[in-house]
């Protein structure tokens, strides 16, 4: 197994402290705070540890404060309800005595029912696209040191963007994009783990799409971008170590907030998940001294 994936899996192996109480470690991926996808994946794993015979079908989360990657995160799970078919859990993530994140997740017994879905967009296959996980050396040299560190940190997922853009300067474009992604090596065949890993990687590219109509790169320093909330719906079984297509669109930006939603398709065309996120998108000249309210 690739060391990058092994390290990510170790992050999801939470330490049980007490009934419904877990502790997770963090990794510095070059960002000024804990990566939101990490907290999302760990919180979902904590909730899943308290449920048997059911898989998560939806989650709704809020990012409240910056996470400190030098301190552990405590996940407190409330077993809100266990019914015949559904279970509901509420998770609060705590650091330094304060809530940094909360999430509600719903789990369901696997059962058959009506089936329909939207079609997958017609896009080139991932083999026909360049690997955009790494930024070209000549472009890295033009970036601030803090941004270079973020982009040079090895990632457990590889990305191939259908509509590549300059990391520093976007031309104005429609608020939509498609990205192929997959884990850099095989991961265990466990549906709960697969969905936690998808939660982790779903935090990439959403808010960036909200900046496309304005020609603003999230790496340029011209805007402060931070997740506020995140929602996911899991429709069908999936594998993150096979190519998945992230079809993202941003219907709106207003009030210093950007909104984006996305469909996640397996390579065979199955719609496996949907996600939505709203976040802070604030121009630096408006209020440059804050990163999250």
Measured CA to CA in angstroms, residue 214 lies from 150, 226, 247 at distances of: 23, 17, 20
Residue at 163 is within a domain? yes
Report the domain count for the chain: 1
Q: Is 203 a catalytic residue?
A: yes
Residue at 288 is within a domain? no
Query: How high is the pLDDT of residue 288?
Result: 42
Selected catalytic residue, list 26, 194, 227, 263? 227
Q: What is the mean pLDDT of each run of 10 residues along the chain (293 residues)?
A: 92 96 88 89 98 97 94 97 97 97 98 97 95 70 63 84 72 92 96 98 92 80 86 98 98 95 98 97 65 49
Q: Which domain holds residue 150?
A: 3-109+128-283
The encoded tokens of residue 258 equal 């950007």
Q: Is 194 a catalytic residue?
A: no
Residue at 198 is within a domain? yes
DSSP run (H or E) holding 98:
strand 98-108
Cβ-contact 77, 16 below 8 angstroms: no
Residue at 16 is within a domain? yes
Residue at 293 is within a domain? no
- The CATH number linked to 85 is 2.40.160.210
Residue at 140 is within a domain? yes
Collapsing DSSP to helix, strand or coil, 199 comes out as helix
Cβ-contact 251, 232 below 8 angstroms: no
Residue at 26 is within a domain? yes
pTM, rounded to two decimals: 0.90
Cα 214 to chain center, whole Å?
23
Selected catalytic residue, list 26, 203, 220, 263? 203
Query: How high is the pLDDT of residue 145?
Result: 65
Residue at 121 is within a domain? no
């Amino acid at each position: 197994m690739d060391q990058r994936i092994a390290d990510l899996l170790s992050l999801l192996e939470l330490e049980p402290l007490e009934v419904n109480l877990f502790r997770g470690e963090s990794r510095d991926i070059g960002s000024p705070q804990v990566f939101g996808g990490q907290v999302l994946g760990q919180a979902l794993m904590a909730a899943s540890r308290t449920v048997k015979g059911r898989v998560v079908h939806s989650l709704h989360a809020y990012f409240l404060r910056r996470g400190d990657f030098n301190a552990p995160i405590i996940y407190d799970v409330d077993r809100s309800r266990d019914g015949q078919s559904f279970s509901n859990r509420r998770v609060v993530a705590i650091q330094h005595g304060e809530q940094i994140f909360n999430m509600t997740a719903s789990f369901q017994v696997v059962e058959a029912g009506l089936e329909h879905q939207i079609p997958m967009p017609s896009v080139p296959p991932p083999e026909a696209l360049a690997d955009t996980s790494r930024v070209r050396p000549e472009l890295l040299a033009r970036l601030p040191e803090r941004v270079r560190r973020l982009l040079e940190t090895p990632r457990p997922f590889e990305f191939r963007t259908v509509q590549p853009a300059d990391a520093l300067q976007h031309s104005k474009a429609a608020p939509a994009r498609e990205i192929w992604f997959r884990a850099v090596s095989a991961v265990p065949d466990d549906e709960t783990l697969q969905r936690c890993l998808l939660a982790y990687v779903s935090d990439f590219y959403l808010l960036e799409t909200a900046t496309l109509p304005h020609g603003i790169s999230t790496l340029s320093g011209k805007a402060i971008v931070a997740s506020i909330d995140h929602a996911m719906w899991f429709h069908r079984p999936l594998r993150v170590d096979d190519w998945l297509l992230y079809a993202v669109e941003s219907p709106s930006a207003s009030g210093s907030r950007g909104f984006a939603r996305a469909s996640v398709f397996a390579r065979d065309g199955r719609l496996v998940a949907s996600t939505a996120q709203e976040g802070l998108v604030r121009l630096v000249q408006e209020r440059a001294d804050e990163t999250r309210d």
